[in-house]
Amino acid sequence: MKSPAARLMVDLRYLRALSRRFRSTLLLAAVIFGAGPLLYHWRYVGPGGDRISYGEALHHVYFLLFGQPSLPYVSDWLVETLNILIPPVSIALVVDGVVRFAYLFFARHKNDKEWVSVVSETMKGHVVVCGAGRVGYRVVTQLREMGKDVVVVEKREDATFVSALRDENVPLLIDDTRSPLCLPRTHVKKASAIVCATDDDLANLNIALDARRLNPGIRVVIRLFDDDLGAKVRDTFKAEALSSSSLAAPAMALAALDPRLIHSFRIGKHLMVVSLFVVRDGLPGMNVSQVRDRFGGLALSLIRGETETLHPNGDVVLQAGDQVTIQASYPEYCILRTFTGEADAPAYADHDNFLMPGYRSTG
């Protein structure tokens, strides 16, 4: 949740962006209600030869807005020209400008295209996420937890997480990404990155190309289902192309082999794993640095009693009953399990808690 001061700054940036968008309307309003009364005050002479004050002139201009002049007719070409021009111009000003300005400022929950466009103009260095499906929603959630501003683009109003994103006040543009005005509405030229997370490889590539055309320096992350296409995109397009199957395959395979693994990923050709170790045989008496130097295992966290320590110091000595989360390459992990006497041990009784997120044991 943002603090009141942070929300105030957001509202002020939004008002400034809205004012820039309606600068013509605001300028015209200033001319009509500022310069108009001055002209009447200067030129108008009543039937009895009396001049009017600025307040009376402003009163007359205001009622001209509704087609109800408050001053008697006089034979002056400038005054009559103003009497004829001000009513239609003022009506157009109110209908097209003031009403729309007030609507966009006070009805921001509507999330229509113009509102999203104005909100996006208040952002710089934000991330544009295309696709409000399961992957897109998780990406948005992670980015917002890290404090990044996000704008989401989704083609379908009935997409799975559209309602959830709106409930969380995330700017959400319902538009076809093939439209030439779609990405400009997200202020992509000032964005730091774009995540193409739709379920269509061709659409993701088109989005990435359009984003690079509008912002050559933008970082592009593309979700692709075709592994071969992903490799070509990485090599020729210089974008981060991620294949769902390549990401899921090692996780599913390792979860089938050892449910104690809670995460896995690749660094080049190396398969890295993260696992929770309950300190018992072998590890008690060793410090964190010795585990790293001997087995290549990096201690990510240490739970001792009710206290959890992230990135424990190297001189911390492990005690029986500690729970330590270790990251290592898969071969190093196997060696460490063998050292602790758990290589052939059965999985923990509550082994479902140690599976990769999204994968549950079925037997």
Residues 294 and 342 in one domain: yes
Closest C-alpha to 314, from 339, 293, 336: 293
- % pLDDT > 70, the chain: 74
Is residue 358 a part of any domain in this protein?
A: no
d(CA 149, CA 170): 9
CATH number for 133: 3.40.50.720
Question: Can you give the pLDDT at residue 346?
Answer: 40
Answer yes or no: are the C-beta atoms of 312 and 302 closer than 8 Å: yes
Domain assignment of residue 157, given as a range: 116-242
Each residue of 106-122: pLDDT tens digit? 655 555 677 788 778 87
Secondary element (H or E) of residue 58: helix 54-64
Is residue 360 a part of any domain in this protein?
A: no
d(CA 118, CA 187): 9
Confidence category of residue 192, pLDDT binned at 50, 70, 90: very high
Question: Can you give the pLDDT at residue 97?
Answer: 67
Secondary element (H or E) of residue 309: strand 307-310
CATH number for 80: 1.10.287
Each residue of 138-156: pLDDT tens digit? 889 989 888 888 999 998 8
Residues 253 and 335 in one domain: yes
d(CA 144, CA 142): 6
What are phi and psi for residue 28, nearest 5 degrees?
Answer: -65, -40
Helices 77-92, 54-64: axis angle to 10 degrees equals 50
Q: Where is average pLDDT lowest: 158-167, 209-218, 220-229?
A: 220-229
Confidence category of residue 298, pLDDT binned at 50, 70, 90: very high
Residues 328 and 212 in one domain: no
Confidence category of residue 211, pLDDT binned at 50, 70, 90: very high
Residues 8 and 93 in one domain: yes
Is residue 362 a part of any domain in this protein?
A: no
Please give the full DSSP string across 1-17, using - where no structure is assigned. ---HHHHHHHHHHHHHH
CA 27 from centroid of its chain's CA atoms: 33
Number of domains in the chain: 3
Residues 101 and 15 in one domain: yes
Residue 272 bridge partners (DSSP):
265, 329
Segment 19-23 mean pLDDT: 70
d(CA 223, CA 135): 9
